[in-house]
Structure formats: structure tokens, C-alpha cells
Structure 1
Amino acid sequence: MSIQVTTVTQGEITRVLTLEEGHFADLKAIEVAPSKLSRSIAAFANTDGGELYIGIDEDKGENKRKWRGFSQIEDANGHIQAFEDLFPLGQYFSYEFLKKASGRDGLVLRVNIQKSKDIKKATDGNPFIRRGAQNIPVRTEEALQVLNRNKGITSFETETVSVPLNFVSNSETIIEFMLSIVPIVEPEIFLGKQLLRHGEKPTVAAVLLFGDEPQAALPKRSAIKIYRYKTTDQEGSRENLAFSPITIEGCLYKQIYAAVEKTTELIQEIQLLGPSGLEYIEYPKETLHEIITNAVLHRDYGTADDVHVRIFDNRVEIESPGKLPAHITAENILSERYSRNGSIVRWINKFPDPPNKDIGEGLNTAFAAMKKLKLKQPIIRESAHSVIVEIKHQKLASPEQMIMDYLDKFPEITNKTVRQLTGIGSENTVKTLFYRLAGRQQIERVPGKGGGSAAWQKFTGTSAPEAPEKKTFTRKKKDSK
């Protein structure tokens, strides 16, 4: 197999040598044993992927790194073999050699490892996961079960629940469902044929889909909590919580529709400053519906937590328990398909007016609806134990354009007003915008207003030119590792 050799610039060399080792990056000297290297490979593949550079020395005493690669490609054969042992089909990784333009100091092997569908084990037979800059062995049965669920190899939906079968088979929900879908079959027979029960015990999927009150059987992992925070701060607190959290319960079908309705109702009460003054917030209902549906159907029900919907003055955050499954990442989630809870997704789609009408297209619909309203697309990010989708009330227009649009209708604008308009949290960032527009002679300071009451107006040429504030920086001493 021919491996590409890429000549890198001095800037790229500096970037590699100053790269911070962490959750997505690791650097190794060429002496690293293939067996130890396999731990990093497995950890990246089992978690969120990452980059691995082999051929970088680190002097921990002086806190310096040095480029010292392989003399020739063949010298890396043992290391390359470690990758091919873990990825025999050549999937989930790619690599290349990096060399300096001078040809000195050898070849650094750069490997890009993707999140894999299956569990990868190091040469010692143990799976590892990546946490920060560490490769953590998965030793306990509980940790292995979590990893299996994260990989989509197993699903908590197939576990049985210690409640009588009639908790599901005699519920109002399943009777209504059977009458509208398959009226000839008895509930017990239906549940058995669809593997939604094992003996006289219903599965988690059956309880969630057809139980009238799944929360009685699956407490703290089967409800939706809605919060309203009267702030634009990064995090909500008890002080700015508008009221006690609202808990939405019932079967998943009813939960989804009730949560979307309540979330929409609360959002429609919010007013924010816009170019024309106070305006009611408007999010496309399709976006809220699809993201809440996605959070409920694709969450990890093995994680003891509820779905959380947090409504702020300038955004909505929807948090779904559990990591993204299998090979799905925040980057490929719109193009790749994987269902953690296959039974739940399949059978809720058979309810009248199902919440997941276009299976696999929900998030794409949500993103398209935001674009149609000229709002910024949702942001998807992972925490250690959940997936968060953030829907911002932020127009696609640039902050500079929003400032000028505002000044078309109002005589002046302040730093605080710009932050309310744009969602920008930093006063200094807004100052930079002001100085940039002043430099283009588009705006100027309002005469006589300074300090805390400083304001800006459209350029008239009567005010003195505004010079950006000079900033002084103190170099922070880097801690030695």
C-alpha cells in the first residue's frame, strides 16, 4: 500500500509541535511500542476519533517538543501494522507521512482515526476509551455495557422491565393503537411476535411505547423536563429560572407532541430587541418538533436521566442522554444513518400522525426550516454523557449588517443593544465591531456620551476619528507537564 508523503510548511510544523494533547490529539515518539500504540488507536476509535502523530519527541523538563521522524518509510512498518491489525478492512483511518521542505529530521506519521462502528481492542485484548489526554481501559462489566450501547451493538430498549405484562397489554395506549393499526391481533400476541416481551415481562421499548405511565416503571429516565431561564447567559441558574421545571410524562408518542406544544407556547411569550424594536421570537415549529423527536427516539435509555429542554431568552437547548451511537458524529449526523432504538423508531412510526414521518430525515428537516427563516443553523455538540442541540435566535445577517439595519430605524446604538441583537456575549468583541465600522466611516461615537453611556450613530463626519483601544497582554507561563 502506497502512503502519501506531504511536504509541510514551517507554519504547519509549528502547529504540530504546539498541538495540545487531549481528547482528539496524541503525539508519540518513534520508539513507542506497537502494543502501547494500539491503546491510543483503540481509544480514539471507541470514542470520538482523533489525530495521532508519531515522530514527535517531548522534553518534559524544558516543556519543548522536537520533530524527529522515521528515517525512511519502511522504519514505520511495525507501527502501520498495528493499525492494519485493528482495521483489517482498511476502514476508519487514513494516514500520511509529513516531511520538512529541507528533508531533515525524518518523516512524521500522521494518522486520522475515525469513530468506529464496532469495539476496538488493544493488543492486550482490552478495549480503551479516550478521556482528555488519557487512554482509559474498560475493565468493569458496567463500563463495557455502556460502551456496547454507545456503539449501538446492544440497546437498552431490548431489556425487560420488572412489571406485569398487563402494564402494557391492557393499557389504554395499546388498545387505541391496536384498534387503529392491527385490530385483529390480541395485544399479547402482537407483543410476542414483535419481540416486545420476553415471557411475561415487557421490554423497555414496549413500556415506553405502549405504557400509559412508563415513568412508574422507568423512573428518572423516561420523561421530558422543560425549563425557562430569563437570561442570555451561557448557563441557567436558580436565580433566573422563571418557574419550577415542567415535567412531561406519558407514552413517548404523547410526550413528544406535548413537549413541542409547551416549548412553542413558552417561546412565543419571549420578546427580544430587533432592528424594529421589541419583537416576538419565532422558531420554525418543524425544527422544534424534529429535534425533540430525535432526542426522545434516539437517546440512550440505559442512562438514568431525562431529556432536558432549556429555553433561554436567545436560544433553546435540547439535551438527550447518551453519546451519539456507533460511527455517528456531530460532523456526519446529517448524512449518516443509525438507529440506536430500532423497535421504538419502527413502531412509533405506525401510530396515527407519527412524529417521525420521514425516518432518517428529521434533523435535515430541522436545519432546512431554520435556513428558510434566515436563522442560523442549529449547533450539535457532545458532552461526556449526552448530546446537546442548540437552536439560536440569531439571524444569518452579519453583526455589522445588523448594527447598520438598527441605525436605519434608531438614532444610536450601544454595546449592550448589539449584544442583545446578535447574541454575542463579549463586550470586547462588540467594541471591535464598532471600531471596524468607524474605520470604514460608517459609524461614529455620539458626542458627549462616553464610559458606561457610550453610544454610536451613523457617520456624519462631525466627530473626531475613533482609534481602537490599545490592549496589553501578559504572557502566561506555561505549566510543565
Structure 2
Amino acid sequence: MEERQISLAEAKEIISKQESHFWDFKSASSDGKKIQEISTSLANSEGGEFIVGIEDEKHATGIDRWQGLHNIEAANFIHQNLVNEVQPPVPYDMEYLWISGDSERGVCCLVTIQKSSDVHKTSKGDVFQRKGAQTLKLTGHRIADLALSKGARSYEDQLLDDYEVDELKEEEELDTFLSTYSPATTPEKYLTRQRLVSRKDGKATVAAAILYAEEPAAVVPKRCSVKIARYESKESTPDRKYLKGTPLSIDGPARILIEKTLDAVAEIIEAVPILGTDGQMAPVKYPPEALKEIIVNAVIHRDYNVSDDILISIFDNRVEVRSPGRLPGHMTTDNILTDRFARNPSIVRLLNKYPDPPNKDIGEGLDTVMSAMKAAKLKAPLFVVEENAFVVILAHTPLARPEELILEYLRNNEEISNKIARSLTGIASENRVKQVFYKLKNADMIEPVPGRIRSQYAWRLTEKGKSLRGSID
């Protein structure tokens, strides 16, 4: 337990934090029940921090929210609840923070909770879990799912033989991160408190290397970079002859890896042409927020025990993001939008501590993807679990029905062929497109272009089709 003085500016910065998946405020008047609930909820999620001694902003504003305990002895009830009342006890560290020159405001207790392999319960036997800025009570199968997930030990905790604290604390990315970290601390204290180095021999964990090493691929014994390949094809399993150039390889600490990957993917996608309903070729457009969430998830949730790189394949009609490792714990493609489980809780939690974290909206990432694709009038992403990978496919397939796309195209162009219709609608089957044409023909909306046979066969609007803009039932 450490006691230290912090500046008024640091105190204000702590107060200005927003409650989140990893952070919460508790009043000095909080009882043991509140301490048990927040501590177990964090330990049953990815870990996090809470501070006791900050009033809710409904009751005070600014620095006046700092209404700490009278003395350190008054914080004993926090220890008692964490050790004696929570079953099993949660792994935690605590700091006692005073505002320098203003002891009258009292001492606040900053408690850091680590995720563990146990399901933690309050003294009443209740199980809580953190989701966003809420502490939620679990019941029934949710508790069973949590227990199943807890059994999955993460490779991120493995110690690296050739990467130790002395080398880690010299990393530029760690220095950049700590320059914004509040309350201010030394590299050694931060790394030890966050369980990123061994207290015994100073060896660093895989998570530490992924987060802060200049070249994690040179430190971690497994492959952990990102590769981006561009295929000039729409084939489901394209031949290497469609591969444009040499796949791009990207490395770096997690935050920089994500930023570089997003920039590279955006640049490649901007050069991919697609046919619009106006008959013109234009750059393909995917919602940037959807791409970001999928790429961020691939980096923070991949299985680092699988010796493979994240592979992003950009096709003429889709983007595939292949993340090494199957879905963790109890997660399936059926519950992926409603449940959550972090394979790498330390990476997830500590990446979220940056001033503008790439994983800002914890637990809402895939919901953001679904909403963004719908807003862009594109079909929802496809989630596929392979033998040793999880794949997300963002297809550039319009939500509009094929009939509507074909009619829209013909209102801007004289005729349409089966090949063009397949490109517009995303339908791969020539026969399925023919069925759409026949449906429109039976509705007297289109007709064959006279004199066209075989490969030259095409369709055009009828007089009825030119005059009507309604949809086809």
C-alpha cells in the first residue's frame, strides 16, 4: 500500500475522468456492499480501477467533489470487504492519495482490481460483472457462461525470457503513454502495479511487449504482426494470380499498429473501383467506423498463442479480416452481439487508458459495425469461425433488393447485362440474376433488347418501367 501526495492539477484530472468499463467513482460514505459490488464486477470482467472519496457530480462540482476519508485508518473497511467479504478475495492494489497542501480534503483510495481465473461473489453470494459504465448482476446461465470463460487462461500473461523491465521501461511508446497517465508514476511502479513484469525477476509479459515494444514481432516468440493483401478479384477463394503486388506487413506497439493498419487499409480501398447504379465507376466506400472496430477487435482479441499474423484481404467486393484463434470462452457467432469476453484483458484494459483510445466504446464495437453498415445501406457483416481463426467479412453488398438496383441502373443507362447486374447486386450466380430479370419481365418493367443473343443479351426498361418508380412485390 502506497501513500503519496499529488498536485491539485492531478486531482482535477482524476475527477474529470468519465465512468467507464474500467473506471468508477465511489463516495467516502459508500458501504461495504458497494465496495463488494464494484470490486467483484471488475474482477469478473477485465479488471479496472475505482477510487473511493469522490462525490457524485450530482452532489458537488469540480475540486469540491474530492471529499476523502479523514485518515488512512478509515479505509480499513475497504480492505476488509475485499479480503474477508468477497469470495474468493479479489486480487488488488491500493494507493492513498492526498492533495499536496490541502489535507483538509481528506485521503482518497485508488483501488486497482485485476482480472482473475475465479468467479468472485459478494458476501450475499451475488455475482456482478462490469459492462460499460454499469455494474450488472448476473443470474442463471450468465454465471455459468462466466465460469466457463474464466477457465480460459490467456497467453498475454506469459513471461518472456529475453525481454525484461530494464529494456521495457526504455521503450518510446511506454514513455509516450506515461506522459499522459494520471496520477503520474514511474515506469517501474506502473509496470509492476499492472502486472506487466514479474516482481521476482523483472521479466516482462507478452501483453507488455504487445502494448509497448517498438517491434513486438522481434520480442514475442509467436507471429503477431498484421499483413494486408489486395486481390483484384471477387472469387471466394482467389488464385494467387489475382494478388496485386507483395502483401504489406505492419508491426509496432498495439496503438501504433492499429493506426498504421487503418491508414494502409483506407489507402488501398480508395483505389478499388466499383460500378454504381448511375453506370459510373467510383471508389468503393466502407463505413470507416466499421473498418476501425473490426481491425481494433482483431488486434486486441486475437489469440497471441497462435503463431500467425492478422490477415486483412481486400477484394473487389469485400474486405476479410482474419484474426488468429477461435472465439474465446463461451463466445459463439450466436451470442457475439449480446455477450462479451476478452481473451486479453490486460491489453484491452491498458489500451483503453490512452487519452483517445482506439477501443473507446467497450462492449459496443460490433453494435457500431452493424449500425454503420446499415447506415451505409450495406448488408450486415458475416462472422465465420474457422479451424484456428475468426473471420469477419464486410461485403460491399447493397441492402436494396436486386430488383430495385437493376431498375435504378436502367433509369440512368439504356441497358443492363447479366454481368453488370451481378456486379451491382453482389449476386454471384448467373442463374439467380436471370430469375430477377424474369421477375421484372413478368411485371412488365423490363424487356429484352431486340436482336441480342448469347453473350450480347441485355435488358431495357419498358414504357411501364420508365413511368413507374415503385418497388416490385
TM-score (norm 1): 0.64
In the superposition, relative to structure 1, how do residues 443 and 321 fare at CA in structure 2: closer, same or farther (>3 Å)?
Answer: same
Name the structure 2 match of 1:37. none
Whether 1:195 aligns to 2:180 is no
Whether 1:161 aligns to 2:148 is no
Work out the CA distance in 2 between the residues paired with 1:118 and 1:153. 9
Q: Is the 8 A contact 2:250 2:261 kept in 1?
A: yes
Equivalent residue runs for 1:312-461 within 5 Å: 312-460=315-463
| 2:256 aligned partner, one-letter code | K
Q: Secondary structure at the match of 2:353?
A: coil
| 2:191 aligned partner, one-letter code | L
Per the TM alignment, residue 435 of structure 1 is displaced from its structure 2 partner at its CA by: 1.4
Name the structure 1 match of 2:241. 239
Q: Is the 8 A contact 1:157 1:203 kept in 2?
A: yes
Name the structure 2 match of 1:175. 175
The CA deviation string for residues 102-129 of structure 1, in whole angstroms up to 9 with x for no partner, is xxxxxxxxxxxxx95556xxxxxxxxxx
Q: Is the 8 A contact 1:224 1:247 kept in 2?
A: yes
Per the TM alignment, residue 457 of structure 1 is displaced from its structure 2 partner at its CA by: 1.0
Work out the CA distance in 1 between the residues paired with 2:424 and 2:281. 10
Q: Is the 8 A contact 2:222 2:306 kept in 1?
A: no
Per the TM alignment, residue 429 of structure 1 is displaced from its structure 2 partner at its CA by: 0.9
| 2:456 aligned partner, one-letter code | S
Per the TM alignment, residue 163 of structure 1 is displaced from its structure 2 partner at its CA by: 1.7
In the superposition, relative to structure 1, how do residues 151 and 318 fare at CA in structure 2: closer, same or farther (>3 Å)?
Answer: farther
Between stretches 180-189 and 270-279, larger displacement belongs to 180-189
Q: For structure 1, which runs of at least 5 residues remain unmatched after alignment?
A: 1-88, 93-114, 120-149, 462-481
Per the TM alignment, residue 280 of structure 1 is displaced from its structure 2 partner at its CA by: 1.7
The CA deviation string for residues 236-266 of structure 1, in whole angstroms up to 9 with x for no partner, is 3320111100011000110001101110111
Work out the CA distance in 2 between the residues paired with 1:221 and 1:447. 59
Name the structure 1 match of 2:256. 254
Q: 2:267 aligns with which of 239, 243, 265?
A: 265
Q: Is the 8 A contact 2:222 2:305 kept in 1?
A: no
Q: 2:286 aligns with which of 258, 283, 289?
A: 283
Work out the CA distance in 2 between the residues paired with 1:235 and 1:402. 26
Equivalent residue runs for 1:98-117 within 5 Å: none
Work out the CA distance in 2 between the residues paired with 1:182 and 1:90. 39
Q: Is the 8 A contact 1:446 1:454 kept in 2?
A: yes
Per the TM alignment, residue 362 of structure 1 is displaced from its structure 2 partner at its CA by: 1.1
Q: Secondary structure at the match of 2:163?
A: coil
Q: Is the 8 A contact 2:222 2:304 kept in 1?
A: no
| 2:225 aligned partner, one-letter code | A
Per the TM alignment, residue 235 of structure 1 is displaced from its structure 2 partner at its CA by: 2.0
Work out the CA distance in 1 between the residues paired with 2:264 and 2:221. 22
| 2:197 aligned partner, one-letter code | R
Per the TM alignment, residue 187 of structure 1 is displaced from its structure 2 partner at its CA by: 1.4
Per the TM alignment, residue 182 of structure 1 is displaced from its structure 2 partner at its CA by: 4.5
Per the TM alignment, residue 189 of structure 1 is displaced from its structure 2 partner at its CA by: 2.3
| 2:284 aligned partner, one-letter code | I
Per the TM alignment, residue 460 of structure 1 is displaced from its structure 2 partner at its CA by: 4.9
Between stretches 214-223 and 425-434, larger displacement belongs to 214-223
Per the TM alignment, residue 151 of structure 1 is displaced from its structure 2 partner at its CA by: 7.2
Work out the CA distance in 2 between the residues paired with 1:336 and 1:345. 16
| 2:383 aligned partner, one-letter code | I
Work out the CA distance in 1 between the residues paired with 2:428 and 2:272. 19
Say how many residue pairs are matched.
321
Per the TM alignment, residue 186 of structure 1 is displaced from its structure 2 partner at its CA by: 2.1
Q: Secondary structure at the match of 2:304?
A: coil
Q: Secondary structure at the match of 1:197?
A: coil
Between stretches 380-389 and 182-191, larger displacement belongs to 182-191
Q: For structure 2, which runs of at least 5 residues remain unmatched after alignment?
A: 1-138, 465-473
Q: Is the 8 A contact 1:152 1:340 kept in 2?
A: no
The CA deviation string for residues 43-79 of structure 1, in whole angstroms up to 9 with x for no partner, is xxxxxxxxxxxxxxxxxxxxxxxxxxxxxxxxxxxxx
